[in-house]
Amino acid sequence: MKTSVRYSVIIPVFNEEAVVQETYYRLTQVMKSVNESYELLFVNDGSKDRTAEIVESLLLTDQCVKLLDFSRNFGHQIAITAGMDHACGDAIIIIDADLQDPPELIPQMIEKWQKGYEVVYAKRAKRKGETFFKKWTASLFYRTLAALTEGSIPLDTGDFRLMDRAVVQALSSIREKNRFVRGLVSWVGYRQTAIEYVREERFAGKTKYPLKKMLRFSIDGITSFSYKPLKLATYLGFIISFISFTYLIISLLQKLFFAGTVAGWASLIACVLLLNGMTLMLLGVLGEYVGRIYDETKNRPLYILRDKQKAEHPTSDEVNWSAHQ
Ligand code: UDP
Ligand code: MG
């Protein structure tokens, strides 16, 4: 058993004025029941609504609340990263703000951590209140990713998880730009375990992941952890060369032994379209990877905080820990 530990809960928020108060309330109840010190670290990812104001009002009344305020929207994965950079707990929990991930699961995660696991991730056994399209695309994404990465990233698992300080420190040393945090967590290793849960409906408001962001996110996930899409060109090249060669022999035999071959416009145009389509697609794949190399070489910071002083890494001692009495 670990005694006198400190927990950090990271909550990325983007236009969550409708839920943030309730999330604070539920998290506080759960964390108080744990009976150890804790901090609730809200990361405001450039919200355009009253989210920041609401968190600021919580700051005034509750010492456990902290706020990192981005200068604009940098995206969910970057918000989590900033949270991890600034969290000071011995165990760090990441949770969505919309209560789709039930805070009541946290004590269970803590129990596993106390037993010696360094990462406890929550696996979605079921998803409630999401559209068929969302469930289907999510399932397809997790399975494609598993196939391309030889199953090293757990299926149906979001960012809702508890991590030991050591894991978070390892993650903080990775500064790649197009981040897919759950993949990085698998990559760093350590003793990992899962608990299953039912993903609830969003408490209020709409999803902050429209199709465009979802696509971006899945391409980031796949390209950060697999080169296989690049190899597609090689495989397709082989297959097409083989087919073309066979077709060439057939045409030659036709020409030699059966005079009067037809002018074959349809097959010609089909070949041209197919090959051009494929070339463009593979150029696109190349572009994705080249774009990522470009992002890395620019060496920009991952995020910018509105309040610069807060951007400095605080040491644990500077942070005002308020134990539950
Ligand atoms: N989020 C964020 N920045 C973004 C998009 C989302 O910080 O650009 C946060 C959002 O506030 C929520 C979490 O990420 O706490 C997950 O987003 P959401 O619930 O909208 O995604 P979904 O559950 O629909 O996939
Ligand atoms: Mg959600």
pLDDT digits (tens, 9 = 90+) for 3-49: 688 999 999 999 999 999 999 999 999 999 998 999 999 999 999 99
What pLDDT band is residue 205 in, cutting at 50, 70 and 90?
confident
What pLDDT band is residue 253 in, cutting at 50, 70 and 90?
confident
pTM of the predicted model, to two decimals?
0.77
Q: Is the CB of 12 under 6 A from ligand 1?
A: yes
Q: How far is the CA of 84 from the centre of ligand 1 (A)?
A: 17
CB distance 139 to 155 below 8 Å = no
Q: Is the CB of 229 under 6 A from ligand 1?
A: no
Quote the distance between the C-alpha of residue 272 and its chain's center: 39
89 in helix, strand or coil?
coil
> What local confidence, expressed as pLDDT, does residue 261 receive?
63
What pLDDT band is residue 311 in, cutting at 50, 70 and 90?
very low
Residue nearest to atom 14 of ligand 1 (CA): 76
How high does pLDDT run on average in the chain? Answer: 84
Kindly report which listed range (49-53, 181-185, 197-201, 267-271) carries the lowest average pLDDT score: 267-271
Q: Is the CB of 17 under 6 A from ligand 1?
A: no
> What local confidence, expressed as pLDDT, does residue 322 receive?
52
DSSP letter for each residue of 13-71 = ESS-TTTHHHHHHHHHHHHHHHTSEEEEEEEE-S-SSSHHHHHHHHHHH-TTEEEEEBS
Tokens 């796949």 label which residue?
A: 222
Q: Is the pLDDT of residue 312 over 50?
A: no
What pLDDT band is residue 81 in, cutting at 50, 70 and 90?
very high
The CB density around residue 306, as the number of other CB atoms within 10 Å, is: 15
Which strand (E) or helix (H) includes residue 167?
helix 165-172
pLDDT tens-digit readout, 90-133: 999 999 999 988 999 999 999 999 999 999 999 888 777 778 88
Tokens 């928020």 label which residue?
A: 13
Instruction: From 124, 126, 103, select the one nearest 194 (Cα to Cα).
Output: 124
